[in-house]
Amino acid sequence: MLSRHVLGLLAFLAPAAAHAQSFSFLSGEWLVTAKGNIAATPKYPGADEMRMTAYPSLGFRRPGEAETFGAPDDPASFALIRSGGLRLGPSLKFVGARKSSDNAELVGLRDVDWTLEAGAFAEYWFSPNFRTRADIRYGFRGHRGVVADLGGDLVAPMGAWTFSAGPRMTLASTGYMSAYFGVTAAEAAAAAPGITAFAAGGGVRSVGLAGAATYRFSPEWAVTGYARWDRLVGDAADSAITRVTGSPNQFTVGTTVAYSFTIRMP
């Protein structure tokens, strides 16, 4: 599973490969933040059970450069444009596979392979304590649809603590909704009792809230705990996959431990 910081590493490596003769943009000191992440997330969209995931992530910035706030539920992203309160850049998210072999309640329904969603994000800070963000991505391999995540965060530093919270909304195209919430007549005939045919269309997929708290023990060490609740709405809630075998309430909880250190590039 990818985090928002992995894309930052790729953004450094790609220019280096393309311009192997010049590494001057990498020279000097860098502050590296290595993170270990553990999270419990829904097993698949609409599921009423959760699964544990663990993954590493990396962040880079110059010493003396202020660390940019990022919510734990932000997709992997890297700001290529920074102007005042505006940040723009590529966005990336990995979505795990949904398999009937791992979920008995999905017997008869088609599997959805893992998906890599790629796109862009725009973020604007109206003040040092309030940001809005939009991520728009297209899915490759599993679902072939467009997903848009919209949200805002109030950010409140309090000594060694930093608290954040704000609303969330996800919109999705028919390609996404059909993959996770659609049921064909043939699937309904082979599925568990109560699973009926359903043509899921695009629109608002969910609305919800997210919050996080970070405690910095020292300039090197910090720990973050976070939680997010999403309520499936529209066709995502009306599908029998949600109504009969799952739940419209989707929860995510997790923690991150971060360690920062300095490296010098020649």
Q: Give ∠ CA 106-112-116 in degrees, rounded to 5.
A: 145
Residue 17 pLDDT level (bands cut at 50, 70, 90): very low
- Mean pLDDT for 194-213 is 97
CATH architecture of 6-265: Beta Barrel (2.40)
Number of Cα atoms under 13 Å in the Cβ half of residue 97: 11
Place of tokens 């695009």: 202
Q: Does residue 257 register a pLDDT over 80?
A: yes
More confident of the two residues 13 and 93: 93
Q: What is the pLDDT of residue 11?
A: 43
Residue 22 pLDDT level (bands cut at 50, 70, 90): very low
Q: Does residue 32 register a pLDDT over 50?
A: yes
What rounded mean pLDDT belongs to the chain? 88
Both structure tokens of 248: 């419209």
Phi and psi of 17, rounded to 5°? -70, -35
Q: What is the pLDDT of residue 28?
A: 80
Q: What is the pTM of this model?
A: 0.84
**Contact criterion met (CB below 8 Å) for 210 and 187:** no
Listing DSSP states for 72-101 in one string gives: TTPPEE--SEEETTEEEEEEEEEE--B-TT
Q: What is the pLDDT of residue 27?
A: 77
Residue 189 pLDDT level (bands cut at 50, 70, 90): very high
Q: Does residue 6 register a pLDDT over 50?
A: no
Give the span between the Cα atoms of 87 and 91, in whole angstroms.
12
Q: What is the pLDDT of residue 60?
A: 76
